[in-house]
Amino acid sequence: MADVNRGNRPLSPHLTIYRPQLTSMTSILTRITGNALLVTTFLITWWFIAAATSPEAFATADGFLTSWFGDLVMTLSLWGLWYHTLAGVRHLIWDNGIGLEIHTAEKLGWAVIGGSVVLTILTIIII
CATH classification of the domain holding 101 = 1.20.1300.10
How many domains is the chain built from?
A: 1
Percent share of the chain, pLDDT over 70: 87
* Containing structural domain, residue 79: 21-126
Nearest residue to 50 via CA among 40, 37, 65, 36: 65
Q: What is the 3-state secondary structure (H, E, C) of 94-111?
A: HHCCCCCCHHHHHHHHHH
Q: What does the pLDDT average to over 11-29?
A: 82
Residue 25 lies in a domain: yes
Q: Which three-class secondary structure state does DSSP give residue 2?
A: coil
Q: Nearest 5°: phi and psi at 38? A: -65, -40
Q: Kindly state whether residue 42 falls inside one of the protein's structural domains.
A: yes
**pLDDT of 40 over the 80 cut:** yes
- Tens digits of per-residue pLDDT, 59-72? 999 999 999 999 99
In the predicted model, is pLDDT for residue 5 greater than 70?
no
Count other Cβ atoms within 10 Å, centred on residue 90.
21
DSSP class of residue 66 equals: T
Q: Is residue 7, in this structure, part of any structural domain at all?
A: no
Q: Is residue 106 part of a domain?
A: yes
Q: Evaluate if pTM is beyond 0.85.
A: no
